[in-house]
A and B are shown apart, each in its own frame.
Chain A
Amino acid sequence: QQQVKQSPQSLIVQKGGISIINCAYENTAFDYFPWYQQFPGKGPALLIAIRPDVSEKKEGRFTISFNKSAKQFSLHIMDSQPGDSATYFCAASLGGSYIPTFGRGTSLIVHP
């Protein structure tokens, strides 16, 4: 049973465009939703995270939008750059468990 469903599996965007990656979860008890960024040959690194008491969080060009009623959250990358080309993972965890459930990842390619 896949508790966090991520789409699309791959995404190609032109430089300057908006990249959008979506995730849906099933467990309404999840209360921490991080996004990780992974460059080829490296381990994932935390990019941005949100808790369900807010509907949006922005850090630079990266924004998480959260829809609690729909049990969905998404990552928006504004003004996408070739340096953003990486694999992005969404995740969800229960407060205090520290054992996140990961989505399957999205491979983003930003063409110059």
Chain B
Amino acid sequence: NAGVTQTPKFRILKIGQSMTLQCTQDMNHNYMYWYRQDPGMGLKLIYYSVGAGITDKGEVPNGYNVSRSTTEDFPLRLELAAPSQTSVYFCASSLGQGIGGEQYFGPGTRLTVT
């Protein structure tokens, strides 16, 4: 299994441009998540999904959109990039059963908006 894969690894955007960060998992996990990580601020939840066709906002959803048409894929869309969206973005997945639930993270996408 490849686990959670993310593309691209790095991207530089100009202010106002748009892009989609791709995320795919091959573990048949129900839950998928998008986080952003800024220095000293930990992991902030942007959006999450509990299954295909179901998405919900996390702590910092403004400026982002998501969709979940399949169990495997959970793309994150930035419509009008702003410098405040410069960050490292992580996609994660979890089986979503039992107590707790280990999250499996992708390798991240480093995004710079200038």
Q: B45 — which chain A residues lie within 8 A by C-beta?
A: 99
Q: Kindly state whether residue A71 has any CB partner on chain B within 8 Å.
A: no
In chain A, residues 48-64, which have Cβ atoms closer than 8 Å to a Cβ of chain B? 49, 51
Summed over the interface, the residue pairs from A and B with CB atoms below 8 Å come to a total of 62
Q: Please, how many residues of chain B have a CB less than 8 angstroms from a CB on the other chain?
A: 25
Q: B26 — which chain A residues lie within 8 A by C-beta?
A: none
Q: A105 — which chain B residues lie within 8 A by C-beta?
A: 40, 42-43
A32 touches B99 (CB 8 A): yes
A89 touches B42 (CB 8 A): yes
CB within 8 Å for A46 and B42 given contacts A98-B94, A98-B96 = no
B105 touches A44 (CB 8 A): yes
CB distance from A66 to the nearest CB of B (A): 14
Q: Kindly state whether residue B48 has any CB partner on chain A within 8 Å.
A: yes
Q: B100 — which chain A residues lie within 8 A by C-beta?
A: 31-32, 34, 49, 51, 93, 95, 98
Report which A residues bind B (CB closer than 8 A).
6, 9, 31-32, 34, 36, 41-46, 49, 51, 89, 93, 95-96, 98-100, 102-105
Report which B residues bind A (CB closer than 8 A).
4, 31, 33, 40-43, 45, 48, 50, 58, 90, 92, 94, 96, 99-108
